[in-house]
Amino acid sequence: MDQNHWKSPLPCDVYNLGLVPFADAWTLQKSLVQRHGHSPQPDRLLLVEHPGVYTLGLGSTLDYLKLPAEDLPYPLFRTERGGEVTHHCPGQLVGYPILNLKRHRPDLHWYLRQLEAVLILTLAEFGLRAGRQSGLTGVWVGDRKLAAIGIKVSRWITMHGFALNVCPDLGGFGAIVPCGISDKAVGSLAQFCPGITVEAVLPVVVNSFAQVFELNPVIQNAAPLGL
């Protein structure tokens, strides 16, 4: 048997940062990505909730805002990720993997499908049969979208990531056409599992992420330098 077949999984530092303003988490991501240009870095997974905010993808249109930007109930940021407008708020678990895909597979399509697999596996742990919709990115239960994905990859280092609606107030989505999809509803895990909390889901996401990406999660008790 090839000895390499039994190599230990690569470590991945996991940070549960709690409630963090979007701008702060965005700055932290960019700082961690930049470190990869200077010295070897571990894979990292940042897990956060955000106060209410809307974000746009790099090339996304304002046509999917139902109100003028200045009249939205929460701040609006244009980012470098792909995809259209989305909403973040407390009760939604957001994951920002900072991975070097050269250690995994340098393939954007593969990476997107892997993130979807993490969320499908997570929801299965709570008894939900989640899946994909043809031609769309994200994870669905029936026609309800429970998780959105939007990424940026530069020199095969990833940033941005996924947002899983655990138990959020979905009202903020009413001011936008989420991800530009007008004919399907946004949903949450709490609609199927009343009383579910982010605290209950977070370790399941970590385990699912580790399983799908074949990583060894190393839980960090302090935030990365810069937050």
Q: φ, ψ for residue 155 (rounded to 5)?
A: 55, 35
Q: Could you tell me the two tokens for 44? A: 């990292």
* Active site residues per annotation: 179
If you search the block for the tokens 């090839």, which residue do you land on? 2
Q: Could you tell me the two tokens for 160? A: 């941005």
Residue 34 burial (CB count, 10 A): 12
For residues 78 and 65, what is the distance between their CA atoms, to the nearest angstrom?
13
Angstrom CA distances, 136 to 52, 150, 179, 192, stand at 25, 12, 10, 22
Q: Could you tell me the two tokens for 91? A: 């009760």
Alpha carbon 60 to chain centroid, angstroms: 18
Alpha carbon 121 to chain centroid, angstroms: 14
Q: Hey, which residues does 157 pair with through a beta bridge?
A: 100, 154
Strand order, beta sheet including 53-56? 76-78, 53-56, 86-88
